[in-house]
Amino acid sequence: MRHKVPSKAQRTKYIMKLQLALTLLLGFYSVVGSAQVPTTDPTPTVKIKKHIKAKHKSSPIIWNVTTPSLSQEEKARVTMEDNEPKPTKAKYVWTLEDAVRIADAHSPDLQRVRANFEAARKRVLEAVSGYLPQVDVSGNFEQTTLPTPSAGSTVNIGTSLPYSGVMGSVRQTVFDFGKVLDQIDANRYFEKSADQEKASIKLDVDLAVAKAFYNVALTNKLVEVAKTGVLQFDEVQRRMVVLVKTGTRPSFDLSQANLELAKSRLQLIGARNARDVARVALITLMGVPNDTSFAIKEHPPTKFKTDPKKLNLTNLTSEAFENRPELKRNRYTVQAVQQLHSRAIKGFLPTVDAEAWYGRFMENYPSSINNSWGAGLTLTWNIFNGFDTTARIGEMYARMNAESARLDKERDNISAEVADSLLEFQRSDINVAVARQSLDFAKINSQLAQRRYDANVATFLELLVADTSLLSAQAENVQARYQREIALASLKRAVNGPLE
């Protein structure tokens, strides 16, 4: 049989195909050979097993791809950022109730108002003493030419002689037109005002501790979210190094992965710092040392049966006007100043006192006055004291007007506080539902973005945006939940009564 000789064009085509096949074959063996050469680079390597399907069988090939080298300073900084020191075992585990109880026992503000309340109680007893007998005992020893009393000693007047004696007296207010009663009533109202001030400060301390407690819980959760972000973007960065080395993805994708990893590390550092600051704020409010090792134990989220939208502002404001200790404190203060004003007006009226005394005089006194006594009534009427009484009346009247204006101002502040707290609670309750829905959407979007990226129909930037949005949604969901708890605590403090 005679074979057909190929033409020149066909021979040229066969030669080009052969050259292409040899090129691919040499490239394949160069990759396999490089995989078998041990690396001397101390940087960590990523091993990836990939099966290349041949016509009849598949053989595993391992590619060793080194990550970009880092300096010793950079490695130390990354280690410091990513590897948080292992926490020591907590010495205390506190619930919110434990934190409030400890703060009530150690808070300097509460200690101050408790001391003020005790002082107010003692001032009531001081005022009551104005209606109790006043007993005095006095004694004297003197060398004189004019003894006191001098009755019966006229023969010795002018002669320096020693004299001694002892005398006791009792004085009792009989009638003062209610001056002491007004002072007693005023001090009792001040005592009640101090008691309400103590209750108000306690509510403020409890609310501040609750906010600090929830902030610690919130920052703990945000640290966990930030750690998740670092781990996620670190894994993405490692995979992208391999894909860029093998030429599967462009170097721009690796640059974006490095950028997102750096951002996640910064966020983790910020979250840890915020957590530490929140812990210091909590133990400062509780009045315990800053080096105290503690952990917190959270309760489940507060269940609110009533729809926040159905809460009536007018009813809550009326409830606050009846229950808020600040209003009660100011009312008692106004009543106390009114009693002081009445006391000042009665300063123009006389006072009647009963007095009795007994004396024993010795040495050179005559025996006729050795045992002396006396009793009687005293009428004291201040006719003119340099306008002191008039000025005191004017002072009490101005102070009464000032306290009345302060009461009106406090009522306005409480009304505004209730309205703001209610709006904040309603907004935070809506935020919880929206944040939860946003988190669900972010999860779906992240899954879809990953599938699109695996199918080469989405860019790496789209995948990073989806992953970043998921982490943001997780953080926002945590923040919304704790902001609702804080808003609810603030509303309870503003009303100081039942909300449902």
Domain residue ranges in the chain:
92-495
Q: Is 491 exposed, middle or buried (0-12, 13-18, 19+ CB in 10 A)?
A: buried
Q: Say whether pLDDT at 40 is over 50.
A: no
Mean pLDDT along residues 349-375: 84
| Residue 404 CA: distances (Å) to CA of 336, 337, 415 | 11, 10, 17
Confidence of residue 383 (pLDDT cuts 50, 70, 90): confident
Residues 6+ apart with CB under 8 A from 250: 244
Q: Say whether pLDDT at 45 is over 50.
A: no
Architecture of domain 92-495: Up-down Bundle (1.20)
Mean pLDDT along residues 238-253: 86
Q: Note whether 197 and 473 are within 8 A (CB).
A: no
Q: Note whether 380 and 351 are within 8 A (CB).
A: yes
The average confidence (pLDDT) of the chain is: 82
Mean pLDDT along residues 444-462: 87
**Cβ neighbours around 95 below 10 Å, total:** 13
With CA atoms as reference, report the closest residue to 309 among 474, 451, 433, 171. 433
Mean pLDDT along residues 303-330: 90
Mean pLDDT along residues 116-139: 92
